[in-house]
Each structure stands twice: as C-alpha cells, then as structure tokens.
Structure 1
Amino acid sequence: MEISSILTAIVFGIIVGVLGRLVVPGRQHIGVLWTIVVGIVAALIGTAIAAAVGVANTDGPDWIEWIIQIALAAVGVAALDRSKAGR
C-alpha cells in the first residue's frame, strides 16, 4: 500500500466518520480519533460491500457506495457510543 493510498483512506475516513456521526441523533460521547477510526473502517468495509454488490464503479459519483459507507459509520458511531455510555 502506498503513502497516497493511506492518506486517501484517512481523508475519506474523516469525511465518512463525520457524516456518520451527523446522522446519529443526539450527542455522542466519543472523541474525534474514534470518529476517524470508525470512518476509516466503515469506508473500507463499505467499499468492499459495494464491490461485492457491483455498485462500486459507476459513471460519475458513487452515491450508493457513499450511502453504504455513511450508514456503516453511523452504526459504528452509535455502537461505540453505546458501549462507552455503559461504562
């Protein structure tokens, strides 16, 4: 994996994590670093799911892939927030 790929994954992770966090209602009790980590994981898993379904490479923006990634990030943020709130 190249440095540019890692930086791209981090940037997409930040974007996907923040958008996923905005989708979850209420205040979350997780930090920015956890939001980025959840966003990176959601972006990678969402890309794999979109590729498996066959919607990863389309003409123009890949809206379905973005929706999958943001939904996964929202689920990840909510799950992490719930696990932190239980402590």
Structure 2
Amino acid sequence: MQWLWAIIVGFVLGLIARAILPGKQHQPLWLTTLFGIIGAVLGNAVSHWIGVEDTRGIDWIRHLLQLAGAILIVGLGDMAYMSLRGNRKREAA
C-alpha cells in the first residue's frame, strides 16, 4: 500500500511543483509523477539528516522539504528531458 501513497504524493507534489515553476514544462504527466516521487524521497532524506522527520502533529517542515525537492527535481528533470528530446529531433533530421 505504500507504493500507492508514493504515487499519489508524487503526483500531487509534481503538479504543485509544475504550477510553482515559471514557464511551461514539457515533460509528460507520468514523468512529472516520477519526478515528484523522487523529490519526496529527497525531501524525506533531508528531513532525516537535519532531524525533523517525526514531530508531534503535522510534519510541516518535512512536507515543505518534500515540496522543495520536487520543485528542484521537476525543474532539473524538465531541462534534461528537453535536452534529450532536442537531441533526438536533431538526429532524426
């Protein structure tokens, strides 16, 4: 059941990250979800490293770190996706 929550959280974080980032992102929705999952894992790791992964109540710091990780990964992933996609178009021509 944890994989289902990972997909749902990754989807939501990926969409929020796309909404926050300026301009148009060109990656497909499944890749946005994957980037959101990776960003959430990165945010969880950072929250563990700084010691705020488990607090009483809602873990706001962990959730903000997950969102920051998703924004970072979605932004970098879009640049990588476009560079790979651009190279494929050049090879086909």
Aligned to 2:91: none
Aligned residues: 84
Calculate the aligned-residue CA RMSD, in Å. Answer: 1.2
- Normalization by structure 1: what TM-score? 0.86
Q: Report whether the alignment pairs 1:50 with 2:47.
A: yes
Unaligned runs of 5+ in 1: none
Q: Which has the larger radius of gyration?
A: 2
Which residues in structure 2 correspond to 1:1-87 (within 5 Å)? 4-86=1-83, 87=86
**Pairwise CA distance, 1:6:** 0.9
1:37-78 deviations in Å (ceiling 9; x for gaps) = 001111112112111211111112111111111111111111
User: Match of 1:49, as an amino acid?
Assistant: V
Unaligned runs of 5+ in 2: 87-93
- Normalization by structure 2: what TM-score? 0.81
User: Match of 2:6, as an amino acid?
Assistant: A
User: Match of 2:27, as an amino acid?
Assistant: I
Percent of paired sites with the same residue: 33
* Alignment partners' CA distance in 2, 1:75 and 1:57: 23
